[in-house]
């Protein structure tokens, strides 16, 4: 089926659907003429269409009808624009009836398509007012009687009125202090963690570079290469043992390091020891111990490795019969292992250098930072074992509250949560192997770096908060922790003092309650916050509120006054109404509607005072003059991008971009001026605690302008969904019709998700440049990844095209003079 026949079929369906059964047959016979197949297709669609089911489905997704005579939503809330003229409200029914009576002229395809497109879940048919006898007057709606409040006042309320403000101030002060304390703690912990990680990492980098420079010394490098060559000849074991090369390496290292205690070991590619610092060379020919195999293998792959600090058997301690009792108290081994390359840059050996003060300086850096900051600072390895001496653990040991001495902490203390277990003596280290790591250690060993202000248990079972950072270069983590009692001491003091103050005021309130109860309601009445506004007329009603045209009595400024509808006072709707005002008020771009005021009256009436926009919506612009010039479309889209660009920069997604939510007016200086409004469905990408949240079990928005992913996952927030809607608006302006229009919701959804819209040029009747079609097509890509990555990128693409398709203020003045209101 080609585009022309499809449009014809759709137009006839929309028109016939408005007629009664007897009228349909004669109407279709007159319209289809000698094309009975077309008539059969229309009748088949009508037979499958269940109007009542569609109505029930639509009503289930729409807000509850307004009470009395308030109008139903019409796809746009005329909250910021005058209502359409009567001549523009002609329905599809009247269009079809006129055609039937005339027998000559047929219904305009664009008119029927537009009217049919409005009959979806987002835009039910318009119902006229039932009459003024059912309508609540604006004044009565805005200014509730103070007598209701006066009847509720009693001594109990007055008692609460005396105590509650203090409690509220106390809570506010407490939470303010808590929030400030949390912010300060987060900054403190993050700063200390980062600085310690940076300092220790730089220290190890410097030491590694220093050892690398030693290994490049000709004496050391040539000696190691000679030892490798001797090993490759497979000579007797006596030759390496009697070789003077190990002593020459040791002597050179002692000179370079300035430490006579420096030690070294050299392994070849077979992980066999070919030289060491030992005078008797008793370890020659021995393999690397299992504990150090992984680190030596990394060095043979070309990495520079910091080994340890560890106790007992390491890569240099091959003797399994060493006395274990002497390894628990000696200083842990912390060494540098690096590759040795031959003249062809091939790795032929690995060199370990230790006893150059690595562990001592590394440990002192952490301990000095802990002493300076008053925090518990220590480092752990990938296994969750402590590789520096925690000053806090040492303090607990001396207070007999910890079973592991400071001399045995490194490489013995696994940072696990002891829970309620009480262990003694050397069993503590053994039992800890079976316990889960603390939250800090568990997260850090997974390579994570974060701050946690929610209390958790540390290695001593104490409640702490902390920060940690994993160092991927040297494979260790720095953990900084602070006791919860010390961290939030100031907030607790404030809370206890306000409780005491509240108790004193309670006694005072009980004494004075009876006197306050005798006051007249008129003495206590406050001026209604909306008494500053004069209601001029009702502009319309939408899913959430009723909108009035009002004027500020003192300033004389016309405004649009939006009130939460009387039947939408449940908590969910109130939070949604609050969110719209709060989010819209955060926008300052001139192409977004301006919020002047917002609040609630004492009776709980929620209101929002916003800019009163004069002009036409983009939907009305197309209704009046059909498809728009390409230059004008690009000019308007660029302004819409400015409004959405600011919203997206604030992590705010509009979610309901459509022609009915974009107001166009004539500005004398720039010509066309577009303003985006109705942020009722807007949501933040990363909601914070200060943003009201509302549940969402179905999709929200106007279906024909919604991105495909919104149907599949209504709760997913993605700025590229707004880009898709902008593309639909561009299509509508260029083609004079929406990209997809079906009266059956399921058919509409299927088209949006799987089908491409009819070519714009087919609707316009002329060819559309490839650059324009590519712009719209990329915006409306089914896959969000195929669209413009951001609204800024889309704006740049539009700017590149505006040079080719200009639109001037003179062009805008000409259009408004022909199609605008007088």
Q: Report if residue 93 sits inside a domain.
A: yes
CA distances from 262 to 211, 221, 224, 254, 333 (A): 12, 17, 17, 6, 12
3-state secondary structure 329-394: CCCCEEEEEEEEECCCCCEEEEEEEECCCHHHHHHHHHHHHHHHHCCEEEEECCCCEECCCCHHHH
- With respect to residue 409, please indicate whether it lies within any of the assigned structural domains: yes
More confident residue, 76 or 202: 202
CA distance 128 to 117: 20
Mean pLDDT of the chain: 76
Query: Which phi and psi angles does 376 have, rounded to 5°?
Result: -90, 110
Secondary structure string (H, E, C) spanning 301-339: CCCCEEEEEECCCCCCCCCCCCCHHHCCCCCCEEEEEEE
Helices (H), 386-433: 391-398, 427-432
Q: Which of 327, 355, 383 is the last residue of a domain?
A: 355
Which of 387 and 492 is assigned the larger pLDDT?
Answer: 387
Shared domain for 466 and 420, answered yes or no, is yes
Do 406 and 314 sit in the same domain of this protein? no
Minimum mean pLDDT among 8-22, 483-497, 644-658, 694-708: which range? 694-708
pLDDT digit string (tens) for 247-277? 999 999 999 999 999 999 999 999 999 999 9
Is residue 465's pLDDT more than 80?
A: yes
Residues 779 and 727: beta-carbon distance below 8 Å? yes
Given a cut of 60, whether residue 536 has pLDDT beyond it is yes
Strand partners for 490: none
Say what the pTM is.
0.43
Looking at the structure, do residues 330 and 389 belong to the same domain, yes or no? no
Contact 29, 532 (CB under 8 A): no
Residue with tokens 């709606």: 141
Is residue 767 classed exposed, middle or buried when 0-12, 13-18 and 19+ CB atoms within 10 A define those classes?
exposed
Q: Confidence class of residue 313 from pLDDT cuts 50, 70 and 90? A: low
CATH of the domain at 735: 1.10.510.10
Residue 163 C-beta-side C-alpha neighbours within 13 Å: 20
Which residues are within 8 A (CB) of 375 and not within 5 positions of it... i.e. 6 or more apart?
A: 189, 192, 369, 480, 481, 482
Give per-residue pLDDT as tens, 401-454: 787 888 888 888 889 888 755 444 444 556 777 889 999 999 999 999 999 999
Helix 489-517 and helix 155-215, axial crossing angle in degrees, nearest 10: 170
Residue 757 domain-assigned (yes or no):
yes
Residues 6+ apart with CB under 8 A from 758: 3, 6, 7, 735, 739
Q: Are 532 and 609 in contact (CB under 8 A)?
A: no
Do residue 398 and residue 317 come from a single domain? no
**Overall average pLDDT of the 341-370 stretch:** 92
287 and 347 housed in the same domain: yes
The model's pLDDT over 137-191, given as tens digits with 9 standing for 90+, comes to: 444 444 444 444 444 444 555 556 656 776 777 777 777 777 888 888 889 899 9
Question: Is position 451 within any domain?
Answer: yes
The C-alpha R_g of the chain, in whole angstroms, comes to 39
293-309: string of b/e by CB count within 10 Å (b at 16+)? Answer: eebbebbbeeebbbbbb
Domain of 226, CATH number, reads 3.30.450.20
Task: Give the tokens for residue 702.
Answer: 């106007």
Residue 606 lies in a domain: no
pLDDT of residue 95: 37
**Is 227 a domain residue?**
yes
Asked if residue 385 and residue 336 are part of one domain, the reply reads no
Q: What is the token pair recorded at 504? A: 């004193």
Q: What is the CATH number of the domain that holds 192?
A: 3.30.450
Q: Which carries the bigger pLDDT value, residue 132 or residue 352?
A: 352
Q: Residue 585: left (phi > 0), alpha (psi -120 to 50), or beta?
A: alpha
Whether 500 maps to a domain, the answer reads no
Q: Which domain holds residue 114?
A: 3-127
Residue 603 pLDDT level (bands cut at 50, 70, 90): low
Nearest C-alpha neighbor of 658 from the set 583, 733, 546, 750 = 733
343 and 472 within one domain: no
**Helix/strand/coil for 164:** helix
3 state SS of 273? strand
- Same domain? For 223 and 263 the reply is yes
More confident: 687 or 585: 585
> Is the torsion defined by CA of 158, 161, 166, 167 positive or negative?
positive
Q: What is the mean pLDDT of residues 714-725?
A: 85
* Residue where a domain stops, chosen among 456, 489, 522: 489
Residue 562 annotated as part of some ligand binding site: yes
244 with 122, same domain? no
Whether residue 307 sits in one domain with residue 452: no
Higher-confidence position of 695 and 727: 727
User: Which of residues 215 and 750 earns the better pLDDT score?
Assistant: 215
**What average pLDDT score do residues 48-56 get?**
55
pLDDT value at residue 722: 92
Contacts of residue 699, defined as CB under 8 A and 6 or more positions apart, other chains included, come to 706, 710, 711, 714
Q: How many domains does the chain have?
A: 4
For the segment 100-121, the average pLDDT, to the nearest whole number, is: 36
**CA-CA-CA-CA torsion sign (415, 416, 421, 427):** negative
- Give the lowest-confidence range in 183-197, 330-344, 602-616, 702-716: 702-716
Q: Does any domain span residue 525?
A: no
Whole-Å CA distances, 20 to 12, 36, 96, 113, 345: 14, 20, 11, 20, 91
The reply to whether 382 and 343 lie within a common domain is no
- Name the pLDDT band for 58 (thresholds 50, 70, 90): very low
pLDDT value of position 697: 39
Q: In the predicted model, what is the mean pLDDT of residues 578-584?
A: 77
| 450-457 and 273-276 beta bridge pairing | unpaired
Q: Is the peptide bond before 171 cis (omega within 30 degrees of 0)?
A: no
Residues 626 and 772 in one domain: yes
Mean pLDDT of 669-678: 90
Domain boundary, last residue among 445, 467, 489: 489
Nearest to 89 by CA among 540, 646, 398, 644: 540
């Amino acid at each position: 089926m080609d585009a022309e026949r499809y449009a014809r079929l759709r137009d006839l369906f929309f028109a016939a659907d408005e007629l009664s059964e007897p009228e349909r047959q004669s109407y279709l016979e007159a319209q289809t003429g000698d094309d009975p197949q077309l008539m059969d297709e229309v009748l088949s669609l009508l037979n499958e269409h269940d109007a009542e089911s569609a109505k029930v489905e639509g009503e289930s997704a729409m807000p509850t009808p307004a009470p009395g005579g308030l109008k139903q939503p019409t796809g746009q809330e005329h909250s910021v624009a005058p209502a359409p003229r009567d001549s523009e409200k002609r329905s599809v029914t009247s269009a079809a009836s006129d055609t039937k009576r005339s027998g000559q002229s047929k219904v305009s395809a664009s008119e029927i398509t537009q009217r049919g497109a409005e009959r979806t879940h987002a835009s039910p048919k318009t119902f006229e007012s039932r009459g003024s006898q059912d309508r609540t007057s604006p004044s009565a709606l805005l200014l509730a009687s103070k007598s209701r409040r006066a009847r509720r006042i009693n001594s109990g309320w007055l008692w609460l009125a005396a105590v509650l403000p203090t409690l509220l101030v106390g809570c506010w002060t407490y939470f303010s202090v808590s929030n400030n304390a949390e912010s300060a703690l987060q900054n403190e912990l993050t700063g200390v963690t980062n600085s310690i990680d940076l300092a220790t990492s730089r220290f190890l980098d410097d030491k590694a570079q220093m050892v690398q420079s030693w290994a490049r010394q000709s004496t050391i490098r040539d000696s190691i290469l000679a030892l490798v060559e001797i090993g490759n000849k497979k000579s007797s074991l006596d030759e390496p043992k009697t070789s003077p090369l190990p002593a020459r390496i040791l002597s050179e290292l002692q000179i370079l390091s300035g430490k006579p205690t420096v030690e070294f070991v050299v392994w070849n590619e077979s992980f066999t020891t070919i030289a060491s610092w030992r005078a008797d060379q008793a370890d020659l020919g021995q393999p690397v111990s299992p504990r150090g195999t992984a680190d030596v293998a990394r060095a043979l792959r070309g990495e520079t490795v910091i080994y340890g600090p560890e106790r007992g058997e390491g890569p240099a301690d091959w003797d399994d019969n060493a006395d274990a009792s002497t390894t628990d108290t000696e200083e842990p081994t912390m060494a540098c292992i690096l590759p040795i390359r031959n003249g062809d840059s091939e790795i032929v050996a690995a060199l370990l250098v230790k006893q150059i003060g690595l562990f001592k300086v590394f440990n002192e850096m952490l301990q000095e930072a802990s002493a300076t900051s008053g925090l518990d600072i220590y480092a752990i390895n990938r296994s969750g074992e402590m590789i520096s001496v925690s000053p806090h653990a040492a303090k607990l040991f001396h207070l007999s509250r910890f079973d592991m001495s400071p001399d045995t902490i490194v490489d013995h203390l696994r940072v696990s949560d002891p829970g309620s277990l009480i262990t003694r003596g050397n069993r503590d280290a053994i039992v800890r192997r079976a316990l889960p790591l603390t939250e800090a250690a568990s997260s850090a060993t997974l390579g994570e770096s974060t701050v946690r202000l929610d209390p958790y248990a540390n290695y001593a079972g104490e409640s702490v908060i902390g920060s940690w950072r994993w160092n991927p270069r040297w494979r260790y983590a720095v953990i900084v922790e602070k006791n919860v009692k010390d961290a939030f001491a100031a907030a607790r003091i404030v809370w206890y003092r306000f409780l005491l103050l509240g108790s004193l005021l309670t006694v005072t309130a009980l004494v004075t309650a009876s006197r306050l109860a005798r006051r007249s309601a008129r003495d206590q009445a406050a001026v209604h916050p909306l008494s500053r506004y004069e209601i001029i007329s009702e502009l319309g009603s939408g899913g959430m509120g009723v909108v009035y045209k009002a004027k500020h009595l003192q300033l004389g400024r016309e405004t649009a006054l939006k009130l939460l509808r009387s039947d939408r006072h449940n908590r969910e709707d109130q939070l949604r109404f609050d969110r719209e005002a709060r989010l819209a008020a955060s926008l300052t771009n001139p192409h977004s509607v301006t919020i002047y005021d917002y609040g609630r009256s004492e009776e709980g009436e929620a209101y929002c005072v916003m800019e009163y926009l004069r002009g036409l919506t983009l939907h009305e612009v197309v209704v009046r003059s059909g498809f728009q010039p390409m230059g004008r479309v690009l000019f308007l889209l660029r302004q819409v991008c400015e409004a959405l660009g600011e919203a997206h920069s604030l992590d705010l997604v509009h979610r309901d971009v459509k022609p009915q939510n974009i107001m166009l007016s004539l500005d004398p200086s720039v010509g066309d001026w577009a303003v985006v409004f109705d942020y009722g469905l807007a949501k933040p990408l990363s909601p914070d605690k200060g943003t009201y949240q509302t549940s969402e079990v179905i999709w929200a928005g106007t279906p024909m302008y919604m991105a495909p992913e919104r149907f599949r996952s209504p709760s997913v927030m993605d700025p590229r969904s707004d880009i898709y809607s902008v593309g639909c608006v561009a299509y509508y302006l260029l083609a004079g019709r929406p990209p997809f229009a079906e009266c059956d919701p399921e058919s509409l959804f299927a088209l949006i998700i799987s089908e491409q819209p009819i070519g714009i040029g087919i609707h316009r009747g002329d060819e559309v440049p490839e650059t324009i079609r590519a712009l719209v097509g990329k915006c409306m890509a089914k896959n969000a990844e195929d669209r413009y990555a951001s609204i800024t990128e889309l704006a740049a693409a539009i700017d590149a095209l505006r040079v080719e398709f200009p639109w001037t203020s003179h062009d805008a003045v000409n259009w408004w003079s022909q199609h605008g209101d007088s």
